[in-house]
Amino acid sequence: MFRDLERVFGCPVVEAYGMTEAAHQMTSNGLPPARRKPGSVGLPAGPEVTILDDKGTILPAGEKGEIAVRGANIHDGYLNNPAANATAFTNGWFRTGDQGLIDGDGDLKITGRLKEIINRGGEKISPLEVDNVLLDHPLVARAVTFAVPHAMLGEEVGAAIVLAEGAVADADEIRDFARSRIVEFKVPRHILFLQEIPKGPTSKIQRVGLAGKLGLV
């Protein structure tokens, strides 16, 4: 998609990363002739950026954890919400709630939202990774992966899929395709074919609670 956009519009695509609490930019790829890495949100663009584990320890390059930032542009805290502030800051670092890693070039890659990570019997699964596999299927137009409660495993993998116009496919075909790309425990056990995937009040897909909205709880 990155290369196709550049070809069609004749201009560079610059992926970046920001949030309101950082007012607003945190990392960015550069404009030509600077390096632009598809799938990465680039280098720090003001604040310091690191990856923390659950205990607040800084992780080395290549290891996944929670993306954290600090610097003059980072907010001091949430108004009248000491509970949120207690969990959001660790040793001066603001924990973004996003999962990611810093590669060997120092570029940041976002791999998902921590609260959306599926915990299937202790195996942690990034819904975004499964989305990308499903979207590679030639008959799939849209796909959203989400957690489905499971009595023994805690959570199981579910996927809501919108097929391309006029396309016909069944769940077994989609699973077989996924198995060719990802390990078995990440393959969706629940697959629903929909005309449209439900969105939240801001028109964004909300993975958390989606199983309930789709009648899987």
pLDDT at res. 205 = 83
Quick one: what percent of the chain has pLDDT higher than 70?
100
Residue pLDDT, tens place only, 88-105:
999 999 999 999 999 999
- Hey, what amino acid is at 23? A
Closest to 155 in 3D by CA, of 193, 196, 127, 113: 127
- Record the pTM: 0.81
Q: What is the pLDDT of residues 65-90, one digit of tens each?
A: 999 999 999 999 999 999 999 999 99
Return the ∠ at Cα 121 (arms to 118 and 125), rounded to 5°.
Answer: 30
Average pLDDT estimate for 123-134 = 94
List, for residues 5-40, the tens digit of each pLDDT value.
Answer: 999 999 999 999 999 999 989 999 999 999 899 989
Q: Write the DSSP string, the chain.
A: -HHHHHHHHSS----EEE-GGGSSEEEEPPPTTS---TT---EESSSEEEEE-TTSPBPPTT--EEEEEESTTS-S--TT-HHHHHHHEETTEEEEEEEEEE-TTS-EEEEEEGGG-EEETTEEE-HHHHHHHHHTSTTEEEEEEEEEEETTTEEEEEEEEEEPTT----HHHHHHHHHTTS-GGGS-SEEEE-SS----TTS----TTHHHHTT--
CATH 2.30.38.10 occupies which residues in the chain? 2-113
**Mean pLDDT over residues 194-205, rounded?**
85
CATH of 2-113 given 3.40.50.1980, 2.30.38.10, 3.30.420.10, 3.20.20.370: 2.30.38.10
pLDDT in tens, 152-197: 999 999 999 999 999 999 999 999 999 999 999 999 999 999 999 9
Query: Does domain 117-213 sit in CATH 3.40.50.170?
Result: no
Q: What is the pLDDT of residue 157?
A: 97
The one-letter amino acid at 95: R
Within the chain, which residue ranges are assigned CATH 3.30.300.30? 117-213
Phi, psi of 129 (to 5 degrees): -60, -45
What is the average per-residue pLDDT within 123-145? 95
d(CA 41, CA 35): 11
Q: What pLDDT sits at residue 204? A: 81
